[in-house]
Chain A
Amino acid sequence: MSGDTRNSNRPFEEDLDAIRHAWQGLQPVEPPDLIDQSVRTAARRALPARNRWQSMRWIGSLATAAVVVLALAIVIQQDQEGPVPPMPKTDGFRLDESAKTAAKGASEADVVEQASSQAELRSERAPPPAAAEDPTARDAVTTTLQATHEESAPVIEPKAWIEEMLRLQQAGRLQELRAEVEAFRKAWPDHPLPPELQD
């Protein structure tokens, strides 16, 4: 049986050898270079990231060193500049301070404005007899008007002021009128006065 198998295998092996011999006569075909490169590139890309980054490990060390040097430079520079002045507690504190200053300024402005408006109101209304005869009150009004004219833009327009002065004249309050005229001339030196107020 085994002899039969050997006998039957022998021609098969011989035939296979003959075919192999003939097969070797074929030109040895090889893959194109482009395919070779493509396969090798794919193989390289498929490598684990740690292997690909092994050659780039110095980048991490360099970055760490740069951070350390930068931190040291900052510390040394701060030491050379001397002690750092104490910082305000918060920015909110500074805001509060500035807000207070602004509020203070605003309140002062408000006082002046209130005083001038009060004076305006007082001058528009018929003055109470006590106030009309009280030189202190009159001086206060005059001073307020002057201060208003000196510190800021004129509050009372010349036309309204002149009308007021004419009312004073008609009411016979000449002392007040003189003061108003004097103040008007200071405030509006170029504005002409009507002839009835020029005396």
Chain B
Amino acid sequence: MRDRSDEELMQAYAKGEMKAFDDLYGRHRGPLYRYILRQVGDPVTANDLYQGSWEKIIKARARYRANAPFRAWMYRIAHNHVADHFRRSRPTSELQADSLATDNPGPEQALIGEQTAARLQAAVLMLPGEQREALLLRLEAGLDLDAIAEVTGVKQETAKSRLRYAVRKLKFVLGGAEVEQES
């Protein structure tokens, strides 16, 4: 028996099938959590925002239409919830990113292992919020440019531009200054 699509599961849940929600939640819990955590940097805040996002998704289930891709719809709700959080309070993630970024290993080390990942994580936190979000939607949620544009409420060109800037900066962090100089 084939797995039901996200859209089918969401519709089934909206009709009252709890099992459908469990399946849907199992599929998206990790990526959605990381999408939020990598944006805010703080696990406590991330927990709150993650839970709040799901509560909004649950509340909005009746408004969901199957012709809209579920992932884009879900991340749109999460995006709005996180954006509300940033509007209410200045993010502390930049401070944490600064503390992580002070560790400045050489380029050889930066390309391998956990140190690379840690530097990359710090670098992502230092990105401007819009670029960081576009990158996370690509890396964590696996969305394409159209979906990223839809989630963030901008044109596709804008989304593409944000993603390009983000990639360029991260490549600089990962691979040294020569890539940045070339571009």
Contacts and interface: CB of A to CB of B under 8 A. Distances in A.
Nearest to A39: B54
> Which DSSP category, helix, strand, loop or mixed, fits chain B's interface?
helix
Interface residues of A, number: 29
Interface string B86-123: 00000000000000000000000001011011001100
A84 to B, nearest CB: 51
Given A19-B174, A25-B117, A31-B29, A38 B21 contact: no
A40 B33 contact: no
Interface string A11-34: 010011011101101111111100
Contact of B51 (A12, A26, A39, A51): A39
A32 B47 CA distance: 8
Contact of B121 (A12, A26, A43): A26
Contacts of A22: 111, 116-117, 120, 174
B54 A42 contact: yes
B164 A19 contact: no
Given A18-B171, A46-B61, A28 B30 contact: yes
Nearest to A51: B16
Contacts of B146: none
Interface string A45-64: 01110110000000000000
B32 to A, nearest CB: 8
> Which DSSP category, helix, strand, loop or mixed, fits chain A's interface?
helix
A23 B22 CA distance: 27
A1 interface: no
Interface residues of B, number: 38
A43 B116 CA distance: 38
B13 interface: yes
Contacts of A108: none
A42 B55 contact: yes
B64 interface: no
Given A46-B58, A46-B59, A48-B16, A19 B37 contact: no
B72 to A, nearest CB: 19
B74 interface: no
Given A25-B113, A40-B21, A19 B139 contact: yes
Contact of A15 (B55, B113, B139, B167): B167
B34 interface: yes
8 contacts: A15-B171, A16-B138, A18-B174, A22-B120, A25-B116, A26-B120, A29-B33, A35-B47
Interface of B: 13, 16, 18, 21-22, 25, 29-30, 33-34, 37, 47, 50-51, 54-55, 58-59, 61, 111, 113-114, 116-117, 120-121, 135, 138-139, 163-164, 167-168, 170-171, 174-175, 179
Given A29-B34, A31-B30, A39-B29, 17 more contacts: A12-B167, A15-B171, A15-B179, A16-B167, A19-B139, A19-B167, A29-B30, A29-B37, A30-B33, A31-B29, A31-B33, A36-B29, A39-B55, A43-B21, A43-B25, A43-B54, A48-B16
Interface of A: 12, 15-16, 18-20, 22-23, 25-32, 35-36, 38-40, 42-44, 46-48, 50-51
